[in-house]
Structure 1
Amino acid sequence: MLTRSNKDIFVRGFAKALEEKWQVDVQLKGRDSDEGVSIFAHKLVLASRSEVLKKILELDEFKAPSQPVEPARPSQQKGRRGVGVGPIVSFEKKMITERPKKKIRKNPKTFCCRGHYVMLKRSCETVTFSELKHEELEALVKFIYSDGSKLSAKAKEHVRSLYVTADKYEIPHLRDLCRNELVKSLNLSNALEVLELSLIPLDNALHDAAFSYIIKNLKTIVNSLEFKLFANRNTDLTVEIIRAFMARRNIYY
């Protein structure tokens, strides 16, 4: 049986806390997440990886992880409130109160205060990422909790959306890894889409790689339906491609 090295155990510390849902204090949802399905995470870890998420989690709605101790009461739930910050479009704060069991003294979450048994009422916010599907959000969270050395197989499946997300939430290292994967996986069917992707925002390295690939393979790409649709959306860029192709052709002939 394989045993983990001390380094592996150390590096996987955050990932293990995510898997075990240890001391989680925020729930994350994608735009298509099913009812009752969310990803539990830690505000501290999210804030340490992304300046944008840090600013969002510093809002008053997110600052207090727990409420003062008070007598146990039936469950109650507050309604939704919008948070107008960046791409986060919805915020929900759920108040979770558990009733003491019959054997109160054995319940570790029950406390005795001046002869009255009370329970700690916890709050757990829910943040919805409207621009990400649930699987894309899951890949993003797993990367945040990883050692960041490489993209997982799932992250590579959603590399285009993660590339945009990395820029939006200011996670430069993730953007670098996504760029490398996009360049490495350039082919006839995706080169035009990658070129468009490099413009929002402008990424010279990705743009140059995609542009050069298209010029080299324009004789094949120009006959595709994708090129026709691309030309309708990007007339000026199409002119640049044709000019570059003709200039390259004049050099060789």
Structure 2
Amino acid sequence: MDCPICNYSVSPIILRPLRYTICGACYEGARSLIALINKLHNGNNDKGTSKANHGIGNALKWVKEMTEVEEELNEKVRFLGGFVSAFKDHIHTDINVKPGDFGPSIPAHRALLASRSSIFKNMLEPDSYITTDHPPGGTITLAELNYEELQCLLEFLYNGDLSKEKVEKHVYSLSIAADKYEIPYLQRFCESQMLRGLNLSNVLNVLEISDTCSSLNLREEALNFIVRNMGDIIFLPSFEEFALKNPHLTVQITRASFLENKNTRNVI
């Protein structure tokens, strides 16, 4: 007979049926858990999944394996975190990065900057930046970033993450910097944060950033959100200013809204 949960033929085993039953929620949860485990397993195994990988009996084993993987990754992160300490404590820094608001330069490491961005790599080639009185590798200026934004950018390049407060405050400027200096991981990070926090008060800014950074996915999600909430957004105080500043995006909003209304009428 087939198991009602994993759908594989098994020898029937009945465990005290008069005392133990399974509710609909647990049944669906068990099926969903098995489906997720099998999907993840198949994604990591080109040869497919054997019957031994099916069933709730293997769920705990899989969770244990994933926990071990997580612990290994955390250990690796801690190991690589030594470079973060070198940045914070200015250990053997060899380049100064200057913001565009006349704030103080921030010491950094040329090798790390070059490894994170091909643009930085080109900027740091010999004779491609101006050497000043800073020791010994000179100074580069990121004119579009103020001091706080530059600090966040460098922290992310070293650490691969930022606190929630810093992300919320600087996500737009970081996204533009990620696009300009070709830092794909930072760009994906910023897009994820913007989509996760999309709301009426920021969706127009997100749409504007998506256009500046040529992010199709971000633009599509922002447009869809605007269309779904068109009645509220067009009366926002910021909408008129946005429309005057971005007429081409306003046209896209109008067209998307028209198509949505047309499709809705056709369905009805």
The 1-side partners of 2:215 and 2:86 are apart by 35
- Kindly indicate whether residue 109 of structure 2 is the aligned counterpart of residue 42 of structure 1: yes
Residue in 2 aligned with 1:131?
A: 144
- Kindly indicate whether residue 183 of structure 2 is the aligned counterpart of residue 171 of structure 1: yes
Residue in 2 aligned with 1:144?
A: 157
The structure with the greater share of residues assigned to strand is: 1
The 2-side partners of 1:6 and 1:232 are apart by 51
The structure with the greater share of residues assigned to helix is: 2
Which fold has the larger relative contact order, with Cα–Cα distance below 8 Å and residues 6 or more apart in sequence? 1
Residue 249 (structure 1) shift: 2.6
Q: Which runs of 5+ in 1 are unaligned?
A: 62-82, 84-90, 96-121
The 2-side partners of 1:168 and 1:250 are apart by 38
My pick for the range that moved more, 229-238 or 199-208, is 229-238
Moved over 4 A (4+): none
CA contact (8 A) 1:93 1:125 kept: yes
CA contact (8 A) 1:136 1:155 kept: no
Residue 92 (structure 1) shift: 4.2
Residue in 2 aligned with 1:56?
A: 123
The 1-side partners of 2:260 and 2:75 are apart by 54
Q: 1:241 to 1:7 in 2, by over 3 A?
A: closer
Identity of aligned residues (%): 38
Q: Which runs of 5+ in 2 are unaligned?
A: 1-73
The 1-side partners of 2:149 and 2:139 are apart by 17
Residue in 1 aligned with 2:132?
A: 93
The 1-side partners of 2:132 and 2:248 are apart by 47
The one-letter code sitting in structure 2 at the alignment partner of 1:59 is P
The one-letter code sitting in structure 2 at the alignment partner of 1:44 is A
The 1-side partners of 2:251 and 2:131 are apart by 48
Structure number with larger C-alpha Rg: 2
The RMSD of aligned alpha carbons is: 2.0
- Select the residue among 171, 180, 200 that pairs with 1:188: 200
The 1-side partners of 2:246 and 2:76 are apart by 49
Residue 159 (structure 1) shift: 0.7
The 2-side partners of 1:57 and 1:157 are apart by 29
